[in-house]
C-alpha cells in the first residue's frame, strides 16, 4: 500500500498535465497565412489574391492615349555671357561718343552757316570763314569715325553671336539681355549631330545637366550660331533657359523634336518598369487576381517617364507600384520545389 499510493499520485499528475496541455492547444487559434502567389501554366502570368496585393502594396493605373513627336539627342554647354557684356560696353561707349560727335558737328555746322552769312556781309574775314570750315570738316570726320566704330563692333558681334544676340546686347534697354546679365536666365549653346538641322517649327527644347529626361527643363530658341562645331562639323544653336541655374561651362544633354508625324502610344511612370536578364518588363493587370508580365522592346524616356508606342494599349491597367515585388514572386514560383530546400 505504501508503494501504490505514490504511483497513483504520479499517474494522476501526469494525466492532469496531459489534459492541461491538450486544453491549451485547443484554445490556441490557428495563425492566418497569406495565400502565396501562384504561377499558372503560362510563366508570364502571376496570380495574387486581394489580400496579397494589399500586403505587397500593389497600385495600378489605367493607360491613356497620347501623341509624342520623335526626338533626338544633342549636347551643349552653358555659356558665360561676359564676352557679350564686353561687346555691350564697347558699343554703348561708342554710341555715347557718337552722340557727342553728333552734337559737336551740329554746332560746327551752325557756326559755319553763321560765319558764312557774316562773311557775305563783310563783317568777318575770309580767314575766319576758312577756320570755321576747317572746324566743321574735323567734326564731320570725327562723326564718321565714331559711326564706323559702332558698325565695326556690331559686325564683329554678328560674326560670333549672330543677329539676334547682337541686337539684344547692342540695345540700350533690352529685357532679354538684362535677364542673362542678371542671372535670371542662362545662355546655352547646343551642338547638333553632323548632317542634322533644327526643324523650323521647333522653338522649345528640353535640357538636363545629368541626362535625365524626366527632369529636363525647357529652353527657348534664340537663333542659329554663325559657326559650326570645329570637331563634329555639326550646326550650333543658341537657346535661353529661364529656369536653369547651372555653373558656366556645365555640359548639358538636350532633347530636340525631330519633326515629322507624331507617334501614338501611352506614357508609363518610371516605377512601372522592371528589368530581368537585361530585358525591360511591365506588369499588366488582366483581372482582379491575375497579372501578365509583358516585355518592352522599345520605349523612350520623356518628362512623364517613358513613352511606349506598340507594346501597350490605352485602357490597359499597369502596375505602377510593387512591380518589383511581383517579379520576385513570379521568379520564386518558377523555382522547382526541390531547389527551394
Confidence at 335, pLDDT banded by 50, 70, 90: low
Say if CB 268 and CB 278 are below 8 A apart. Answer: no
Mean predicted confidence (pLDDT) in 10-22: 38
CA 270 to CA 215: how far, in whole Å? Answer: 12
**Range in 11-20, 301-310, 316-325 the model is least confident about:** 11-20
For residues 1-7, average pLDDT: 41
- Cβ-proximal residues to 34 (8 Å cutoff; 6+ apart), any chain: 51, 52, 55
| Type and span of the H or E element at 153 | helix 126-169
Rg over alpha carbons for the chain, rounded to the nearest Å, is: 41
pLDDT tens profile 122-178: 887 888 888 888 888 888 888 788 788 888 999 999 999 999 999 999 998 899 999
**What is the architecture, at CATH level 2, of domain 72-79+183-257?**
Beta Barrel (2.40)
Burial class (CB in 10 A: 0-12, 13-18, 19+), 164: middle
Average pLDDT, the chain: 84
Phi-psi region of 208 (alpha: psi -120 to 50; beta: other; left: phi over 0): beta
Assign residue 305 a region (left: φ > 0; alpha: ψ between -120 and 50; beta: otherwise). Answer: left
Show the cell assigned to 128.
575766319
- In this prediction, residue 298 carries a pLDDT of 87
Neighbours of 207 (CB within 10 A): 25
Look up the pTM and report it: 0.66
pLDDT of residue 286: 93
Strand partners, 83: none
Q: Dihedral of CA 153/155/157/163: which sign? A: positive
May I ask the CATH class of domain 38-68+263-333?
Answer: mainly beta
Q: Among the ranges 115-119, 197-201, 297-301, 313-317, which has the highest mean pLDDT value?
A: 313-317
Amino acid at each position: 500500500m505504501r508503494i501504490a499510493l505514490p504511483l497513483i499520485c504520479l499517474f494522476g499528475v501526469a494525466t492532469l498535465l496531459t489534459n492541461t496541455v491538450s486544453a491549451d492547444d485547443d484554445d490556441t487559434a490557428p495563425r492566418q497565412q497569406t495565400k502565396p502567389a501562384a504561377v499558372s501554366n503560362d510563366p508570364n502570368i502571376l496570380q495574387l489574391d486581394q489580400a496579397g496585393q494589399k500586403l505587397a502594396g500593389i497600385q495600378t493605373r489605367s493607360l491613356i492615349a497620347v501623341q509624342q513627336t520623335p526626338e533626338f539627342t544633342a549636347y551643349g554647354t552653358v555659356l558665360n555671357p561676359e564676352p557679350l557684356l564686353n561687346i555691350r560696353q564697347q558699343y554703348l561707349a561708342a554710341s555715347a561718343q557718337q552722340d557727342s560727335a553728333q552734337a559737336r558737328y551740329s554746332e560746327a555746322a551752325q557756326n559755319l552757316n553763321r560765319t558764312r552769312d557774316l562773311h557775305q556781309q563783310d563783317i568777318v574775314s575770309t580767314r575766319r570763314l576758312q577756320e570755321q570750315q576747317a572746324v566743321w570738316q574735323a567734326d564731320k570726320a570725327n562723326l564718321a569715325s565714331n559711326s564706323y566704330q559702332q558698325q565695326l563692333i556690331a559686325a564683329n558681334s554678328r560674326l560670333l553671336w549672330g543677329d539676334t544676340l547682337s541686337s539684344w546686347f547692342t540695345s540700350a534697354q533690352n529685357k532679354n539681355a538684362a535677364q542673362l546679365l542678371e542671372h535670371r536666365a542662362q545662355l546655352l549653346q547646343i551642338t547638333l549631330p553632323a548632317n542634322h538641322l533644327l526643324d523650323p517649327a521647333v522653338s522649345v527644347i528640353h535640357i538636363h545637366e545629368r541626362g535625365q529626361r524626366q527632369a529636363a527643363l525647357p529652353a527657348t530658341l534664340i537663333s542659329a550660331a554663325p559657326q559650326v562645331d570645329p570637331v563634329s562639323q555639326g550646326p550650333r544653336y543658341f537657346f535661353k533657359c529661364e529656369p536653369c541655374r547651372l555653373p558656366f561651362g556645365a555640359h548639358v544633354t538636350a532633347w530636340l523634336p525631330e519633326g515629322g508625324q507624331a507617334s501614338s502610344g501611352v506614357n508609363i511612370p518610371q516605377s512601372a518598369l522592371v528589368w530581368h536578364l537585361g530585358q525591360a518588363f511591365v506588369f499588366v493587370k488582366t483581372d482582379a487576381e491575375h497579372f501578365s508580365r509583358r516585355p518592352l522592346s522599345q520605349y523612350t524616356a520623356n518628362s512623364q517617364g517613358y513613352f511606349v508606342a506598340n507594346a501597350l494599349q490605352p485602357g490597359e491597367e499597369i502596375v505602377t507600384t510593387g512591380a518589383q515585388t511581383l517579379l520576385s514572386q513570379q521568379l520564386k514560383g518558377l523555382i522547382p520545389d526541390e531547389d527551394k530546400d
